[in-house]
A and B are shown apart, each in its own frame.
Chain A
């Protein structure tokens, strides 16, 4: 159905017809008229039983004949020159198959945890024990690990020359590139500009200014980073990798060892979490695939290198911290006239401190906006993209400032948001959330508790998110329909936990009218054809249209067989149902239809076209939809002890057409849980005088436990945008952007004073209360 077509698109009661032009290969996108029977329904994960029974084999579980286990010696110093290194003694230790130096004499190490040497041995504990025999002498150098210290003149300089920005497939597509020149440890980075914010601020009758800080946040993947490398001769290798991007690993591994990419097979049958940190063959702060590959060559045996928990924290990336000075200008009546954000953050020795788009692209009715951000280099492990890179930091500061300005102006913070946000879906979400969360009554109750100075306080807050549909065209999905009626869907995509395999089965089932459980899904292997890296929340919108398109091609071939068998003039007269294919009273069962296939099977390969439409609003700089989200949070605070708990979150999200309601809700739950930890507990702690991470574990690095999870309600504000043939787009990142900001705003509502620093610990609550009390005593004097 090439050419021009009409689509019925929209959300809620707001449905309209638009004209779109489709490439010849593209089926007409499912729109609001199409009636889905499988897509959109809640489907349990097809691999759930394997996962809960322990049968699922993760990279950690790979066992091969002769496998050696690797361990890496890491720099204990934040900054040091290597004056001697000798791995010879390690090679002689029990069970050791290979020992290699990763640095040479004279090399400078610039963070504690950097690769120094590696060993492979028959057992993991023998490898670790052998590391102790390696002789290394270091000349420690001055260092700096705290962002503010690194910004001062005369602070030890991390990089002497210009720093190349490193990007992965998990970074936000289209984000501005950092251009600035290095000065000390500070390099000015991305900026977003509209009008003249500085001038507008000068003229504004109402001004608000505050500094917000966020902490360094580690990904803490439950399955740590790691690979198993097996050489198949000198020019080919099989790599099992815990990765978000099978093809990214393949290409990087091939480049590291000078191989043809096609000679590298990468397998990720199951993986235990990446959150943006698992994109290449190597991790951001440790060359794990290079190390495993070199050790495997040296020992002539397959080598497994899985990092331990401390390494996972220290050298596989993190979310940069931030110090954000936010200035708002407004009229007395609450019209925002200017936003100026100046942000600094440290990505350690790496790049990537940014603050997302809440300030620049949500409040589009504000005429003058300037967002400036800068990288501050410190002697700490390099950051890497982390679920909505920059956005969570920026959302916390911007959404906090909006709430604080509303308090200063005596306005409802939702009203202030609605007055400056033009996205119709986000506006709808805010109105819906206000009603569903019982916002007005709860705000009143919070004000009452504040007035009575109660010991236990409650408060509510909300915040919003912006993200884009970044689905791409690179995936090629194969469908085979066998003469025996079997349907197999194949693609080299990895399931990072979102449940893409289940959704692929649903889409194929929808097109072919087959039961979901009879669709066989083969994923997780580069041999299965080009997939897509799972970053930017784009897996579903890249893969499901390709599945549909492949299924439609296969179905068209089946239709021709049915046309002949049922003796009809046109395939358009065929009726497809769960029973098979019919014309009038004649029905050909699926099994009988498939028996008519010539040869083994019908094989069709599908891919998605570029975007068709972006109703109702496109993401800045893209022709794809802007994804809206809003979250509401309630907190409870004990003002005597500072204990704070997030009790409820209401999340309203748009994710295009819902593919699988169950896994979708599960991803939103995950985003909220991550955001709750970010808001209240998680923080990388560096010792300022030793330059090492103090809480490189999951005891003092405090991620949410089961009792820390709020009660979560989810409202899906489905949008049919016409963006691709299934209408899917992503949810992974949007779901975590507003959580911490909403919680911070709820804390502000409970206390009547904002805590401007994440995580909002009991210590910070007590400090805010003490300052509030001091201010009020000062005021009465």
Chain B
């Protein structure tokens, strides 16, 4: 790690001002977990860290209010209430929040990393962290993400790489919160202006992330200086959700595959407003819309869940070393659907 300076602006506009235009040398620091990893690994050597702890907020609450958004932008999905979480809310706070309907978020936040990291890592930082790909993280190697001409997973060891949406890069998106929040139909508030008071746009989570076909060197849409300030989750009446991951280790390990689902059970016992997401299978948090469509309006059943899992993975294409992820994702998604719907899992 090379020496650096740190500055702590009081307001988001000041923070933005410090970073816009000098992206290589100046970076935001929230929890600093992934940032310090990259600095220690020698893959980034920023000169100035712009600390966000005074400019952004932490804390999560249930609210009926919606943010002001600029005219001609989309507001939040309609819902009687929203879970609203500041970008600096830690994973530990999200795990402990005990809010209705958002079990998927609690579970994703509570299972990530270690207690120490969960006490430091933030919501915003988790969503915007860089991938853990072992080619990207190796300072000696120049992969596609670092301006090289090919994704090294194609000729190399791809056991932890993408089976969906891959190419030309085959990283998997590292954020577990993104998987849960995508299933929860969450929306992010983004600060892109230069005045603190003016209404700022919101981005549905699926629009926040950038796939490798668009630009393999980045994972999200925010330009240098843009700040993710808050996340909103619509809380529907009778909403239920679940999240689960498969890991090789139980302590401090990245998932091999993760799945999350949100739904509502109507009075007839049918599933409504179903959303299904998969994580660590694709370069972006993966919206399994075919599975959701298959489940919408149906009564929960083990057979249906197996069909939905097949549908979710219908387009999967394995690399040399990751074919196992296909049956694993199917098995995991079936379990998550059982848990989200309340249908007992077979022993």
Partners in one complex: yes
**Residue ranges of A at the interface with B (Cβ–Cβ < 8 Å):** 76, 125, 129, 454-456, 638-643, 645, 680-681, 685-690, 692, 694-695, 697, 699-700, 702, 704-708, 761-763, 766-767, 770
Q: A76-B140, A455-B347 are in contact. List 20 more A-B contacts (CB 8 A).
A: A125-B2, A129-B2, A455-B345, A641-B331, A642-B327, A643-B247, A686-B157, A687-B157, A688-B157, A692-B138, A700-B160, A702-B248, A705-B251, A707-B250, A707-B251, A708-B251, A762-B246, A762-B324, A763-B328, A767-B324
- Majority DSSP secondary structure for residues of A touching B: loop
Whether A705 contacts B250 by the Cβ 8 Å rule is yes
Please name the residue on chain B nearest to A689 by beta carbon: B155
The one of B156, B249, B330 in contact with A708, judged by C-beta atoms closer than 8 angstroms, is: B249
Interface string of B251-278 (1 = CB under 8 A from A): 1111011000000000000000000000
Rounded to whole angstroms, the CA-CA distance of A562 and B27 in the bound complex is: 77
Return 15 A-B CB contacts under 8 Å, by A number.
A125-B1, A125-B3, A454-B346, A455-B347, A640-B331, A681-B249, A686-B157, A687-B152, A687-B157, A692-B140, A694-B138, A694-B156, A702-B248, A762-B256, A763-B256
- Please report the number of residue pairs spanning A and B whose Cβ atoms sit closer than 8 angstroms: 97
Binding site for A on B (CB under 8 A): 1-3, 132, 134-135, 137-138, 140-141, 152, 155-157, 159-160, 246-254, 256-257, 324, 327-328, 330-332, 334-335, 345-347
Residues of A within 8 Å of B347, CB to CB, are: 454-456
Complex interface: chain A residues within 8 A of B250 (CB): 645, 705, 707-708
Q: By the criterion CB–CB under 8 Å, are A680 and B334 in contact?
A: no
Query: Which B-chain residue is minimally distant from A456 (CB atoms)?
Result: B347
Contact A706 B246 (CB under 8 A): no
Contacts A641-B332, A705-B249, A762-B248; A694 near B134 (Cβ below 8 A): yes
Nearest 6 pairs between A and B by C-beta? Answer: A705-B251, A640-B331, A763-B324, A707-B250, A707-B251, A694-B134
**Alpha-carbon separation in the docked complex, A707 to B330 (Å):** 25
How far is A640 from B332 in the complex, measured between Cα atoms in Å? 7
Query: Which residues of the other chain, B, contact A639 by a CB distance below 8 angstroms?
Result: 331
Determine chain B's interface SS by DSSP, over half rule.
loop
The residues of B that contact A707 with a CB separation of less than 8 Å are 249-251
Q: Could you tell me the distance in whole angstroms from the C-beta of B81 to the nearest C-beta in chain A?
A: 34
List, in ascending order, chain B residues with CB within 8 A of A690's CB: 141, 152, 156
Assess whether B157 is in contact with A685, with CB atoms less than 8 Å apart.
yes
Question: Complex: how many Å from CA A125 to CA B141?
Answer: 21
With both chains docked as a complex, state the minimum distance between the C-beta of B242 and any C-beta of chain A, in angstroms: 14
Q: Is the CB of B1 within 8 A of A681?
A: no
B137 cross-chain contacts in A, Cβ below 8 A: 697
Q: Which residues of B contact A455 (CB under 8 A)?
A: 345-347
A713 to chain B, nearest CB (A): 20
**Chain B residue contacts of A694, Cβ below 8 A:** 134-135, 138, 156-157
Closest residue of chain A to B322 (Cβ to Cβ) is A763
A284 vs B324: C-alpha distance in the bound complex, in angstroms? Answer: 36
Given A694-B134, A704-B249, A707-B250, A642:B157 Cβ within 8 A: no
Q: Is the CB of B324 within 8 A of A766?
A: yes
**By the criterion CB–CB under 8 Å, are A687 and B324 in contact?**
no
A581 to B346, CA, bound (A): 72
> Is A761 within 8 A of B346, CB to CB?
no
**Which residue of the partner chain B has the closest CB to A129?**
B2
Q: Is the CB of A642 within 8 A of B346?
A: no
Complex contact B334–A640 (CB within 8 A): yes
- Are B249 and A642 in touch, CB under 8 angstroms? no
In the bound complex, residues from chain A placing their C-beta under 8 Å from that of B334 are 640
Which A residues touch B345, using CB under 8 A?
455
User: Residues of A contacting B257 with CB < 8 Å?
Assistant: 641
With contacts A692-B140, A694-B138 taken as known, whether A763 is within 8 angstroms of B251 at the C-beta atoms is no
Cα A697 to Cα B125 in complex, Å, equals 22
For A644, give the chain B residue with the smallest CB separation: B248
Nearest neighbor of A643 in chain B, beta-carbon distance: B246
A112: nearest residue on chain B (CB-CB)?
A: B140
In this complex, what residue of B is CB-closest to A765? B324
| Cβ contacts under 8 Å, B152 to chain A | 687, 690
Of B135, B155, B248, the residue contacting A680 (CB under 8 A) is B248
Q: Enumerate chain B residues within 8 angstroms of A689, measured Cβ to Cβ.
A: 155-156
In Å, the complex CA distance between A340 and B157 comes to: 33
Q: Determine which residue in B248, B249, B256, B347 has the highest number of CB atoms from chain A within 10 A of its CB, and name it.
A: B248
For residue B330, which residues in chain A have a CB less than 8 angstroms away from its CB?
A: 640
* Shortest Cβ gap from A256 to chain B (Å): 29
A125 partner residues in chain B, CB cutoff 8 A? 1-3
- Distance, CA A454 to CA B254, complexed state (A): 27
Determine whether the beta carbon of B134 is less than 8 Å from that of A695.
Answer: yes
Residues of B within 8 A of A762 (CB): 246, 248, 256, 324, 328
Chain A: minimal CB distance from B241 (Å): 19
CB proximity of B131 to chain A, nearest CB, Å: 12
Which residues on the A side are within 8 Å of B328 (C-beta)? 641-642, 762-763, 766
A95–B345 CA distance with the chains assembled, in angstroms: 64
Residues of chain B within 8 A of A688, CB atoms compared: 156-157
B225 to chain A, nearest CB (A): 29
Contacts of B332 in A (CB 8 A): 640-641
Q: In chain A, what residue has the closest Cβ to B137?
A: A697
Taking the nearest CB of chain B, how far is it from the CB of A134, in angstroms? 15
Pick from A456, A638, A705, A766: contact of B252, CB under 8 Å: A705
- Docked complex Cα distance between A686 and B134 (Å): 11
Q: Which chain A residues border B132 with CB–CB below 8 Å?
A: 699-700
C-alpha gap A707/B141 in the complex (Å): 33
Min CB distance, B299 to chain A, in Å?
A: 21
C-alpha gap A638/B310 in the complex (Å):
19
Kindly list chain A residues whose C-beta atoms are within 8 Å of the C-beta of B252.
Answer: 699, 705
Alpha-carbon distance between A506 and B248 when the two chains are bound, in angstroms:
42
Contact of A641 among B140, B246, B251 (CB under 8 A): B246
**Chain A residues, CB < 8 A from B2:** 125, 129
Are B248 and A761 within 8 A (Cβ)?
Answer: yes
B56 to chain A, nearest CB (A): 27
Max chain A C-beta neighbours (<10 A), residue from B134, B141, B257, B332: B134
| Cβ B251 vs Cβ A706 within 8 A | yes
A392 to chain B, nearest CB (A): 19
> What are the residues of chain A within 8 A of B331 when measuring CB–CB?
638-642
A702 to B134, CA, bound (A): 14
* Closest chain A residue, CB of each to CB of B334: A640
**Inside 8 A of A767's CB, which chain B residues have their CB?**
324
Closest-CB distance, A758 to chain B (whole angstroms): 13
Bound state CA distance, A708 and B249, in angstroms?
6
Complex: how many Å from CA A705 to CA B113? 11
Residues of B within 8 A of A76 (CB): 140
A681, A686, A699, A766: the one within 8 Å of B327 (CB): A766
Task: Give min CB distance, A423 to chain B, whole Å.
Answer: 35
Taking the nearest CB of chain B, how far is it from the CB of A215, in angstroms? 13
Query: Could you say which residues of chain A place their CB within 8 Å of the CB of B3?
Result: 125
A685→B257 CA distance, assembly (Å):
20
CA distance A693 to B311 in the complex (A): 36
CB distance from A465 to the nearest CB of B (A): 25
**Nearest opposing residue in chain A for B259, CB measure:** A641
Report A241 CB to chain B, min CB distance, Å.
Answer: 26
